[in-house]
């Protein structure tokens, strides 16, 4: 393993533990409230949410609210080492288990998001993000940003903030992070 990868693995382990401690319904609710304040600016634009796994903060209440006024999608993995695609989602969508345990819609059209609610393990004050290590969001944001601006909104508990994270040239930066404590813009 390279030093960089080793540092990332270490930072991941620490972040998993902090996220588990921070997980609560109260924090989920407060974070969704702040998320909706941020998304109000982009009402009607296609938004990518996600189906929470493990101890991730749950964005579904905010996604359900957004789905009343515009298209909302969730990530679908088509293959390793490829960008994610986003399939249209509403609270009534029929879902099946996708790879890594996240639910995906059984059917539906594909959307190209202008705003992405991005799950993460850790973030820092420069907008760097650490995920599970698949590189999916990096590849996806890089592709989307080739043709149009894509607003990356990290969604997390405040305890997931880390000191300067190790980064690689392929890491795509977050534009902001929303937590139960409020909004951090970079
Ligand atoms: N809710 C949610 N959906 C998502 C993502 C996500 O981070 N959260 N993704 C974001 O990319 C994609 C799924 N990618 C994933 C990639 C790897 C693992 C994972 O758990 N990998 C290892 C653990 C890695 C580690 O411990 O360091 C495993 O299988 O145990 C999970 C999701 C698309 N959907
Ligand atoms: N745009 C890209 N093109 C090619 N490879 C990439 C790209 N972005 C990331 N990768 C590769 O993916 C690997 C994993 O990236 P990284 O550790 O940043 O994942 P992550 O952001 O934690 O995961 P995820 O986005 O799936 O939650 C990197 O080592 C990198 O080589």
Q: What is the pLDDT of residues 113-125, one digit of tens each?
A: 999 999 999 999 9
Q: What is the ipTM of this complex?
A: 0.92
Q: pLDDT, tens digit, for every residue of 133-180?
A: 999 999 999 999 999 999 999 999 999 999 999 999 999 999 999 999
pTM: 0.96
CATH superfamily membership of 3-185: NagB/RpiA/CoA transferase-like (3.40.50.10420)
User: What are the extents of the domains in the chain?
Assistant: 3-185
DSSP annotation string for 85-132:
EEEE--TT--EEE-GGG-EEESS--EE--SEEEE--SEE-TTS-EE-S
Q: Is 100 in the pocket of ligand 1 (CB under 6 A)?
A: yes
Output the CA 132–ligand 2 centroid distance in Å.
9
What is the reported pLDDT for 5?
Answer: 85
> Are the C-beta atoms of 73 and 88 separated by less than 8 Å?
yes
Q: Which atom of ligand 2 is nearest to the CA of 138?
A: 8
Output the CA 31–ligand 2 centroid distance in Å.
26
């Amino acid at each position: 393993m390279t030093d960089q990868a080793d540092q990332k693995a270490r930072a991941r382990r620490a972040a998993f533990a902090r996220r588990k401690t921070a997980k609560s319904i109260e924090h989920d609710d407060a974070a969704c409230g702040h998320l909706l304040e941020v998304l109000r600016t982009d009402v009607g634009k296609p938004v990518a949410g996600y189906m929470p796994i493990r101890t991730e903060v749950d964005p579904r209440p905010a996604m359900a609210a957004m789905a009343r006024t515009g298209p909302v999608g969730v990530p679908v993995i088509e293959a390793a080492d490829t960008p994610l695609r986003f399939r249209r989602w509403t609270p009534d969508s029929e879902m099946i288990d996708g790879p890594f345990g996240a639910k995906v819609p059984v059917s539906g059209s594909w959307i190209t998001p202008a705003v992405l609610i991005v799950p993460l393990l850790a973030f820092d004050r420069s907008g760097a993000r650490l995920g599970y290590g698949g590189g999916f969001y990096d590849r996806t944001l890089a592709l989307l940003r080739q043709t149009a601006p894509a607003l990356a909104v990290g969604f997390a508990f405040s305890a997931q903030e880390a000191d300067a994270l190790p980064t690689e040239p392929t890491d795509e930066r977050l534009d902001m992070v929303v937590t139960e404590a409020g909004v951090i813009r970079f």
